[in-house]
């Protein structure tokens, strides 16, 4: 077992890439202030293991971190062949689910849900 790995990229703005992580109490304190949060909202298979963010927990993380903007990542890519026909919801929906949860739990955070391969420009 290894601890989750996330990191902050510092430049003219601070961007937090959460990696594969779960929600933890000291998240805001350990990460510090950020302008953008890239938050995982899904996984590669039909279920998430313990210690991972789903759309609701990622929205809670956005509320804790308080970035100006958040982008859901880590969903709809690595998926077992044929599972999109069996469980399309888990493959396609986590980004929009995150946006819905974030509107409720972190309304001050601007959420951008890009299509696969789409670039996101943040103000």
75 neighbors 89 (Cβ within 8 angstroms) = no
pLDDT at 47 > cutoff 90: no
pLDDT at 83 > cutoff 80: no
- Model-level pTM? 0.86
- At 49-79, the pLDDT tens digits run 677 889 999 999 999 999 999 999 988 766 6
Mean pLDDT computed over 41-49: 68
What are the extents of the domains in the chain? Answer: 27-37+45-111
pLDDT at 87 > cutoff 90: no
Quick one: which of 49, 43, 112, 111 has its CA closest to 77? 43
% of the chain beyond a pLDDT of 90:
54
The one-character DSSP state at 53 is -
**E-only strand ranges, 1-123:** 7-10, 14-17, 36-40, 69-73, 110-111
């Amino acid at each position: 077992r290894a601890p989750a790995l996330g990191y902050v990229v510092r430049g003219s703005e601070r961007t937090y890439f959460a990696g594969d992580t779960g929600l933890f109490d000291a998240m805001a304190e350990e990460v510090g202030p950020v302008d953008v949060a890239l938050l995982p909202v899904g996984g590669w298979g039909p279920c998430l293991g313990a210690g991972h963010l789903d759309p609701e927990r990622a929205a809670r993380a956005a509320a804790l971190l308080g970035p100006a903007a958040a982008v859901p990542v880590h969903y709809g890519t690595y998926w077992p062949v044929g599972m999109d026909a069996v469980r399309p919801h888990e493959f396609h929906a986590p980004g929009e689910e995150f946006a819905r949860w974030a509107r409720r739990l972190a309304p001050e955070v601007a959420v951008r849900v890009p299509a696969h391969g789409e670039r996101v420009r943040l103000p």
